[in-house]
Copies of this chain bind each other. A is one copy, B any other.
Amino acid sequence: MAGHVAVVGATGAVGQEFLSILAERKFPLEKITFLASSRSAGKTVEFCGKQHTIEELTESSFEGVDLALFSAGGGISKKFAPIAAKAGATVVDNSSAFRMDPQTPLVVPEVNPEDIARHNGIIANPNCSTIIAVVPVFALYKENRVERMVVSTYQAASGAGYRAMLELEQQTRDILAGKPAKREAFPHQIAFNLFCHDSAIGSDGYNTEETKMVNETRKMFHDPDILISATCVRVPVMRAHSEAINLTFAKPITEREAREILSAAPGIQVVDDRAGNHFPMPIETSGGDDVLVGRIRQDVSQPDGRGIDMFICGDQLRKGAALNAVQIAELLNGK
């Protein structure tokens, strides 16, 4: 029983999804408080059919709070998550602020649930594209170590928040009306276009989104040696990320073995109908909890039989963010 739950950043795309998921899953709570910057304080949000007024987030907001769900950006988390933890709350933080902090567990319940035990008040929720990838990859990894993974992503607008989803819609309307596409949330046109993820590029040429995939996966797998290369790309899709994943295992693995492991794994739905040409798609993933996995096949470019290819899809706002955080909170509740 979580008792008093605080939601920080309830008006954002992930914040709104927190509310839906807490309600859907009948998350046990006695009291819920909504916190935001002074800009949003005073507005109301609906939760379980009732209107709640958003309170201003201050240093004294967390007195008596048992669980704090943060989704208001790295700056807010950096400042207020330690304050919340000090006040006695357990924080599940959706930002990148604490993910690579050695003192902070980074958890996907299907991967490393045991890591929550060692938390010091803060548990970090991984990056969306990483969460969606590791659910199926770790299911396989447990049976046969993955030595290397090459990932190409097809990431939805939702990963950049509500403004970005609205921008995809507005740009699309404008282009169809023959008007120029206005850019605010994204640096490049997203409608009828795609572009490499617009996070900062490091000296090695990888962008931050790609580096997160490497570092966060290594941390959760407790395997600093797993080799990962990612290319992260934003596509004109609303809210589900897709990923083409090429794996190299320590030992040979057959397509059938991979399929059996994935079919039995929690949080995964295999959608792999070759005759009907029906595989994971964003529109069938949006709003759902599972990571859809399809195109499972022996990699013809690894003749030693150690390669598997697959194509996956997961809802960025749910499993990629809010659902995973609520699942962490459920683990804290001993569920």
Chain A residues within 8 Å of B, Cβ to Cβ: 148-150, 152, 154, 168-169, 172-173, 176, 187-189, 192-196, 198, 200-201, 204-206, 214, 227-229, 231, 233, 235-238, 242, 244, 246, 255, 274-275, 277, 279, 281-283, 294-303, 307, 309, 311
Q: Give 13 CB contacts A-B under 8 Å.
A: A154-B235, A172-B176, A188-B281, A192-B237, A193-B282, A194-B235, A194-B237, A194-B242, A196-B277, A205-B255, A229-B299, A231-B309, A244-B244
Assuming the contacts A154-B235, A176-B173, A205-B255, asked whether A193 and B281 have C-beta atoms less than 8 A apart, the reply is yes
In the complex, the answer to whether A194 meets B282 with C-beta atoms within 8 Å is yes
Which chain B residues border A231 with CB–CB below 8 Å?
152, 244, 246, 295, 309, 311
Q: Which 6 A-B pairs have the closest CB atoms?
A: A205-B297, A152-B152, A229-B301, A227-B301, A152-B244, A231-B244
Distance in Å: Cβ of A6 to nearest Cβ of chain B:
34
- Rounded to whole angstroms, the CA-CA distance of A88 and B187 in the bound complex is 54
The 8 Å CB contact of A206, one of B172, B277, B297, is: B297
Assuming the contacts A176-B173, A244-B233, asked whether A277 and B152 have C-beta atoms less than 8 A apart, the reply is no
Q: Tell me the nearest residue of chain B to A195, going by C-beta.
A: B281
Which chain B residues border A149 with CB–CB below 8 Å?
301
In the complex, the answer to whether B205 meets A298 with C-beta atoms within 8 Å is yes
Distance in Å: Cβ of A216 to nearest Cβ of chain B:
14
User: How many copies of the polypeptide does the oligomer hold?
Assistant: 2
Q: Tell me the nearest residue of chain B to A313, going by C-beta.
A: B194
In the complex, the answer to whether B294 meets A214 with C-beta atoms within 8 Å is no
Which chain B residues border A297 with CB–CB below 8 Å?
204-206
The 8 Å CB contact of A300, one of B200, B229, B307, is: B229
Distance in Å: Cβ of A137 to nearest Cβ of chain B:
13
- Rounded to whole angstroms, the CA-CA distance of A73 and B199 in the bound complex is 42
The 8 Å CB contact of A283, one of B193, B237, B244, is: B193
- Rounded to whole angstroms, the CA-CA distance of A205 and B154 in the bound complex is 21
- Rounded to whole angstroms, the CA-CA distance of A237 and B195 in the bound complex is 11
Chain B CB within 10 Å, residue with most, of A194, A227, A277, A298: A194
Which chain B residues border A195 with CB–CB below 8 Å?
279, 281
In the complex, the answer to whether A205 meets B236 with C-beta atoms within 8 Å is no
Which chain B residues border A187 with CB–CB below 8 Å?
277
Assuming the contacts A246-B150, A301-B150, A311-B233, asked whether A274 and B201 have C-beta atoms less than 8 A apart, the reply is yes
Which chain B residues border A189 with CB–CB below 8 Å?
281, 283
Which chain B residues border A152 with CB–CB below 8 Å?
152, 231, 244
